[in-house]
Amino acid sequence: MTIQDQANQAQANQVQTDDHLINEAFQFLKADNHEQLIFGVLKRLHVTKASPHYDDLTQEGQIAFVEKYCQAKKAGKQAKALMVYIYQGVYWKLLDYLRKQASINQHVQPVASEDDDPLAALADPNHTVQGYETNAFASQLREVLTPNEDQYLSLAMLGYNLTEIAAHCGVSRQTVYKWRNRLRQKLASLNQN
């Protein structure tokens, strides 16, 4: 027998051994209610039967159970440590599956036709009750503000800080503080009405 023949024979023996171990793992999964381990992992991950991934996760859990069983047997794990090892392996496998599904779901975008208006799905703040109330209040506020206070409010709403507003308006920071304080007083008096 040549070295190549010996290698082929060794490989065939390994395949038979692996097949035997996989069959043994499936028998172990079905025996003594060991499938409950998978359902325990699903419960820990808060996956219920109503979840759209429940069936897929159950099958993934069975595959992970068999894989971890085979790895544990090859590593010589004892019966007491075997179930803990399998449980952790199934848990991490299903957790990875859920993370991948979440990543996929975040990147999937519905296909829009050319006729769809991308802005149509956005709520128009001018046509909501809250939008009307906000616009009415803003109109009332602008009626009582001086031009400088109004300019301060507009710049502050754009995200400018006090120093930037002072530089933009060509005034000192102290002047901007006065505008801000008067704006607050007027705002407070309008809120009381």
Residues in the chain: 193
pLDDT at residue 107, rounded to an integer: 66
Angstrom distances, CA of residue 105 to CA of 44, 94, 95, 162: 22, 16, 15, 43
Sequence-separated (6 or more) residues with CB below 8 Å from residue 165: 152, 155, 156, 176
Average pLDDT, the chain: 79
What mean pLDDT is predicted for residues 128-134? 57
Closest alpha carbon to 137 in 191, 100, 185: 191
Which of these ranges, 65-69, 98-102, 165-169, has the smallest mean pLDDT?
Answer: 98-102
With bands split at pLDDT 50, 70 and 90, how would you rate the model's confidence at 119?
A: very low
Is residue 93 scored above 70 in pLDDT? yes
What mean pLDDT is predicted for residues 20-29? 86
pLDDT at residue 170, rounded to an integer: 92
What mean pLDDT is predicted for residues 8-19? 68
pLDDT at residue 174, rounded to an integer: 94
Give me the helix-helix angle, 3-30 and 54-75, nearest 10°. Answer: 120
The span from the CA of 16 to the CA of 19, in Å, is 5
42 near 58, Cβ under 8 Å?
yes
Question: Under the phi-then-psi rule, with left for phi > 0, alpha for psi from -120 to 50, and beta for the rest, what region is 110?
Answer: beta
pLDDT at residue 171, rounded to an integer: 93
124 near 95, Cβ under 8 Å?
no
Positions of E strands within 56-122: none
* Environment class of 110 (CB within 10 Å of its CB; exposed 0-12, middle 13-18, buried 19+): exposed
Other beta carbons less than 10 A from residue 152's beta carbon: 27
What mean pLDDT is predicted for residues 126-143? 65
What is residue 31's DSSP assignment?
G
192 vs 14, which has greater pLDDT?
192
